[in-house]
Every structure is written in C-alpha cells, then in structure tokens.
Amino acid sequence: MTKSNDLAQIIVGCKNGDAECFSQVVDIYASRCYGYFCRLTGNKDVSDDLLSQLFVKLAERIGSYKGGSFEGWLFKIASNIFHDYLRGKHRQKKLLDVRKRQLGSDITGLRREESELVDKLQRAIGRLDAETRELIMLRFYSQLSFKEIAKMRSEPIGTALSRLHRGLKKLRMLMEES
Amino acid sequence: MNDRNNENLKDLFERFLSAEQADEAVKDVVEGERILREYPAPEPDKELIADIQSKVAARLLRRRVDVFRKVARRAVAIAAAIIILAVVSVRLFEIGGDRSGGVAYASAIPRALWESDDIAADDMELAVFTAEVRQIEAEVLTLQLGENGRNGERVVVELEIRFVEIQSDFWKE
C-alpha cells in the first residue's frame, strides 16, 4: 500500500501535469477500479473501456481535486462514469427492443455474449438490487469508510450502514444457496 | 487519506442497533467481505494499463498545447490592445499639440481684420461703397459751387437715382 505522503507527492506531480505521476496513479488504482467496474458490469470489454475513460477523465479533472480523500474523489468519478454507461445501456436496450419488435426476431445472442465474466459471485451479485450492488462494490473496492461513503452518496450514514449490512447478508445467503 | 482504518464498525452499528444486533451485523459485514475477497475480480491486462498510460500522456500533451495556445492568444490580444492604445494616444497627443493655436483656429475672421481700425479698407464691398460715396460728395460739392455747366436739376435727379442704386446693391450683398 502506498503511504499517504508518497501519494500526496504523486498527486502534486499529477496537478503539475507530470505524466510519470499519472502512470503511478494508474498503477496504484487500476486494479481496484477495474474490479469495481467488472463486478458492476459483468463485462470485460466494457470494464476496459470504463477504466480508460476513468483515467483520462482523471487527467482532465485533476485540477478540481481540492484535497481530502483521493480515493473518495476517484471513485466518485468512477461512479459517475458507471452511471453514464448505465444510461447509455438503457437507451441501447430500448432501441434494441424496438428493433427486435420491428424485425420480429430474437436478438438474445448479443446479450449472452455480453456477460462473459460469469462466476459464482457474479451470479449472486446479479441478484442483488442495483443500489445495494453498487454500495457493496464501492465499499469493497474504494476501501472508503462509511462516513466517506455516506458523504459521497449524500445519504445518512445509517442508511448506508443498514443497506450494506442487508446486502452482504443476502450475498452470503445467495452464495450458500448456490 | 481515508479513515477506514480508524473506523470501528461495532461502534457505528451500536449507534443504530442494540449491542447484540451490532455484533451480529459486524459479523455479517466481515463474512460478506471475506466472500468478496475469496472471489477476486479479474485484473486489468498489462496492455490495457500501457494503453491507458499512453492515452493519459497524450491527453496531457494536448492540454499543454491548449494551455500554450490560450496563453499565446491572450498575449496577442494584450499586445494588440497595447498597440491600439499607443496609436490612439499618439493621435490624441498630436491633436492636443495643434490646439495651442487657440483663437486663430476657432475664428473664421482673419486676425488682421480684428486688429485693424480701418474697417472700410479691410472689406472690399465697404471700400467700393466708400469710394462711391466720396465721388457723390465731390459731385454735390461741384454742383453747390456752380462749377458744373449742365442743368443743375437733372444732375440732382441723376444723383438721387445713383444713390438708390447704390443703396439697393449694398443691402443685396
């Protein structure tokens, strides 16, 4: 784990536009952010794309980082990127449904190809509601405290706590069932 | 950076649940996170990481070029403003210098005319008029002295006619 002081220096370098410092940030956080995207999307190609978007956006917006939890700031961007992806996917699904009705054919093949990251955990995660799923992944991969998560999601800490508790409990049950 | 390491889950849950329920909740959370660790998500490919790093470097380069362009545009604008200001200042200075002539510039009447006491000599019309008046005076004087051999009455009528002519000509102009 990178020490806070080292990370602070790397971030200062990033703010000064040092490409080497950005490379270090990518090395430090790529794995966790990729895990976050993979578990939420269940798709490797999409996760590749979202991860690229995340770090390019990070380079563009590093000037707006005014201190505080860097992970919180980074995962806030990651969360926004994921939500943008969801909106796009929703629009795409609507178009696909319209097309399907027009053609009168089954286009489920495409959807089957999409979910290539199917392990036992991914199936169980897929059975959780979207809000809980995102909260669990955010907590696990960002390693933020509940206080930081509640602040980031603009919700009371009690809400985040109880939702995460219920979600993880259900996840365990689902894993035991399968 | 983050305060997760200082976080006491049991204390947090006890703010909302009984001590017993809080213990149970902490166990559920710990167990759930153990499962997540047991099934790690895939790691990003090395090629992907290298690709991202090169994309970020390219983005930084583009940003630097954008910043340079922005600075250059601003510098050009400032230089243009300075040049315009300088040109305007020089022109204003030149106009200001010419103003020192004062009355001479403002007045349409020649300065000599103002300073002269002989108005008739300065104005051509007045000069002609004056000359004609003097000629008539001389003729009247001749008549009075009886030096003119012609019929005196006719000469007086002629004089009156000329007077009227001169008067009307003068006021016309």
A32, A145, A151: which to substitute to probe chain B, counting the most B Cβ within 10 Å? Answer: A145
With contacts defined as CB-CB under 8 Å, which chain B residues touch A168?
Answer: 28-29, 31-33
Encode burial over B73-90: b for 16+ CB neighbours within 10 A, e otherwise. Answer: eeeeeeeeeeeeeeeeee
Of A34, A51, A171, the CB nearest to B35: A171
Mean pLDDT taken over chain A: 88
**Residue B130 neighbours by CB distance under 10 Å:** 14
Are A169 and B6 an interchain contact pair (Cβ–Cβ within 8 Å)? no
Q: What is the DSSP string of A21-43?
A: HHHHHHHHHHHHHHHHHHHHH--
pLDDT confidence band for A113 (50 / 70 / 90): very low
Of A17, A47, A172, the CB nearest to B60: A17
In this model, does residue A168 exceed pLDDT 80? yes
* d(C-alpha A25, C-alpha A59), whole Å: 10
* d(C-alpha B102, C-alpha A11), whole Å: 69
pLDDT confidence band for B135 (50 / 70 / 90): confident
CA B90 from chain center: how many Å?
Answer: 15
Please give the torsion angle defined by the CA atoms of residues B100, B102, B108 and B109, in that order, rounded to the nearest 10 degrees.
Answer: -120
CA B79 from chain center: how many Å?
Answer: 17
Query: What are the helix and strand counts (H, E) for chain A?
Result: 9, 0
Structure tokens at A89: 């996917």
C-alpha dist (Å) from residue A87 to A62, A94, A99, A127, A157 = 25, 11, 18, 20, 27
User: In the CATH scheme, what architecture does the domain A118-178 have?
Assistant: Orthogonal Bundle (1.10)
In this model, does residue B143 exceed pLDDT 80? no
Q: What is the pLDDT of residues A54-88, one digit of tens each?
A: 999 999 999 999 888 899 999 999 999 999 999 99
Please report the pLDDT score of residue A112 as a whole number: 47
Whether A157 and B13 have beta carbons less than 8 Å apart is answered as no
Please report the pLDDT score of residue A99 as a whole number: 80
* d(C-alpha A160, C-alpha A135), whole Å: 8
pLDDT confidence band for B1 (50 / 70 / 90): very low
Radius of gyration (C-alpha) of chain A in whole angstroms: 18
Length of chain A: 178
Of A52, A72, A121, the CB nearest to B39: A121
* d(C-alpha A176, C-alpha A170), whole Å: 10
pLDDT confidence band for B104 (50 / 70 / 90): very low
Q: If you average pLDDT over each of A6-10, A47-51, A89-93, which comes out highest? A: A47-51
- ipTM comes to 0.80
With contacts defined as CB-CB under 8 Å, which chain B residues touch A171?
Answer: 32, 35
Sorted by where each begins, the domain ranges of chain A are 1-117, 118-178
Contacts of the segment A61-67: beta carbons below 8 A, 24+ positions apart: A62/A11, A62/A14, A62/A15, A63/A15, A65/A11, A65/A15
User: In the CATH scheme, what architecture does the domain A1-117 have?
Assistant: Orthogonal Bundle (1.10)
Whether A161 and B16 have beta carbons less than 8 Å apart is answered as yes
Q: What is the pLDDT of residues B9-31, one digit of tens each?
A: 888 899 998 999 999 999 999 99
Whether A153 and A161 have beta carbons less than 8 Å apart is answered as no
| Shortest Cα–Cα distance, A134 to chain B (Å) | 13
What 8-state DSSP symbol labels residue B43?
A: P
Structure tokens at B122: 């300065």
List phi, psi (to 5°) of A31: -65, -45
Sorted by where each begins, the domain ranges of chain B are 9-38, 45-106, 116-172
Nearest CA in chain A to B47: A48
Give me the residue label for tokens 């300073």: B115
Mean pLDDT of B63-87: 88
In this model, does residue A115 exceed pLDDT 50? no
Whether B12 and A119 have beta carbons less than 8 Å apart is answered as no
Of A31, A119, A145, the CB nearest to B43: A31
Taking CA A154 as the corner, what is the angle to CA A151 and CA A156, rounded to the nearest 5 degrees?
80
Mean pLDDT of A17-46: 94
Please report the pLDDT score of residue B100 as a whole number: 52
Helix (H, G, I), strand (E, B), or coil: what is residue B23?
A: helix
Are A120 and B15 an interchain contact pair (Cβ–Cβ within 8 Å)? no
Are B3 and A162 an interchain contact pair (Cβ–Cβ within 8 Å)? no
Q: Does B102 touch chain A (CB under 8 A)?
A: no
* d(C-alpha B9, C-alpha B133), whole Å: 127
Whether A25 and A58 have beta carbons less than 8 Å apart is answered as yes
Give me the residue label for tokens 């979910």: A115
Please report the pLDDT score of residue B97 as a whole number: 64
